[in-house]
Amino acid sequence: MRFSIHQKSINGWKIFSLRDQATGSFADIIPEAGGILNAFGFNRQTGNFQIIDGYDSKQDWQEQHNSRFKSAKLSPFACRISNASFQWQAETYSLQKSVTGGHALHGLLFDADFRVADEYITEDFAELHLISSYRGTDPGYPFAYDLLVRYRLSKDRRLLLFTAIHNRSRLPIPVADGWHSYFSFGKPVDSLLLTIKARSVFEYNANLVPTGNFTDDKRWFNGASIGSMLLDNCYVLLQVEEQPGCVLTDQERGVSVEIIPSASYPFLQVYIPEHRNSIALEPVSAPPDVFNNGINLITLAPDHTATFSVDFMITLKNNR
């Protein structure tokens, strides 16, 4: 069969590898490490070419995941909550997890131990379902919910990342969603070409949270070399169905990754770390501090579900 799912134990953890024999594409997922996508790439004669800046081992993840958050699932909020506190239905809540510089970062489930719920293999795709049940353990978010993540590797080196949040609480709960995906072509990002289908960006204050204003920014619309640019911005994407919201291209190698968000992810957070060997291109449903500013915040009723999806697709110039 063209598609397959393999389990392997490497460097201290169990990896589920989705594979397409026809294109040589693969996606490596690690349920116990927050359900992360730790590799996505394809086979070449010179070896594997993978575009995710992943972790080398379980020990590497244990030492760095709560400071770098590479590939983390951002739930129930993305980016940060200012002063780690917010008000909801006349109550004030103070988040306890991952508070840095006084602000809560990257949600509550970035290190959750997901379980494998289902596997599907057909002639058209390989798909892995993961689930994690949050029981309201953080006093700052005492609302129970289930988080389902579905990875589907299909033809044309395309990977679907689907998320469903189901409210298990007796109250309506505030939710947002995103992915903290880091991409790398094995060299500094300076020479890469970045295209973002956006004409505006959120204005931030000194705490990197939106002020409520926007700034015109069309510099990436038709593609531009990253160069020495410093980026930590949230862009408002133009919504064109089945069209990439962002493309990162290594022109030297003729390899691109396209990020194709559904309408559930109308924003793209972009960040370049100091080492500049990778770039975070983060599809998010809402901008930073969503529990306070309410921009695109979802109020999820009891026993209801919110869904989100984005595709990552690797394209090769002249299919080489």
| 29-38, 102-111, 163-172, 236-245: range with lowest mean pLDDT | 236-245
Which amino acid is residue 209, in one-letter code?
Answer: V
| 47-56, 105-114, 169-178, 295-304: range with lowest mean pLDDT | 47-56
User: Does the pLDDT value for residue 241 go beyond 90?
Assistant: no
Q: What is the mean pLDDT of residues 248-258?
A: 96
Per-residue confidence band for 242, with pLDDT thresholds at 50, 70 and 90: confident
| 36-40, 144-148, 209-213, 227-231: range with lowest mean pLDDT | 209-213
Residue for token digits 């995103």? 178
Confidence (pLDDT) at 320: 47
Which tops the pLDDT comparison, 173 or 10?
Answer: 173
CA-to-CA dists, residue 51 to 77, 173, 197, 265, 280, angstroms: 25, 35, 21, 21, 12
Q: What is the mean pLDDT of residues 192-209?
A: 94
Confidence (pLDDT) at 294: 97
Which tops the pLDDT comparison, 67 or 123?
Answer: 123
Question: Under CATH, what is the fold of the domain 3-319?
Answer: Beta-galactosidase; Chain A, domain 5 (2.70.98)
pTM: 0.95
Contact at 8 Å (CB) between 260 and 242? yes
Confidence (pLDDT) at 207: 86
Contact at 8 Å (CB) between 166 and 298? no
Confidence (pLDDT) at 11: 82
Average confidence score pLDDT of the chain: 95
What is the tens place of the pLDDT at every residue in 130-156?
A: 999 999 999 999 999 999 999 999 999
Q: Where are the domains of the chain?
A: 3-319
Confidence (pLDDT) at 169: 97
How many Cα neighbours within 13 Å face the side chain of 107? 27
H/E run at residue 60: helix 58-68
User: Does the pLDDT value for residue 84 go beyond 60?
Assistant: yes
Confidence (pLDDT) at 90: 95
In this structure, the strands spanning 305-316 and 298-300 are unpaired
* CA angle (131, 135, 137) in 5-degree steps: 130
User: Does the pLDDT value for residue 88 go beyond 80?
Assistant: yes
What is the tens place of the pLDDT at every residue in 175-195?
A: 999 999 999 999 999 999 999
Q: What percent of the chain is modeled with pLDDT above 70?
A: 98
Contact at 8 Å (CB) between 161 and 130? no
CA-to-CA dists, residue 155 to 17, 31, 45, angstroms: 15, 23, 20
User: Does the pLDDT value for residue 319 go beyond 60?
Assistant: no
User: Cis omega (within 30 of 0) on the bond before 76?
Assistant: yes
User: Does the pLDDT value for residue 42 go beyond 80?
Assistant: yes
Per-residue confidence band for 3, with pLDDT thresholds at 50, 70 and 90: very high
What's 32's DSSP letter? G
CA 294 to chain CA centroid, Å, is 21
User: Does the pLDDT value for residue 318 go beyond 70?
Assistant: no
User: Does the pLDDT value for residue 66 go beyond 90?
Assistant: no
What is the tens place of the pLDDT at every residue in 153-180?
A: 999 999 999 999 999 999 999 999 999 9
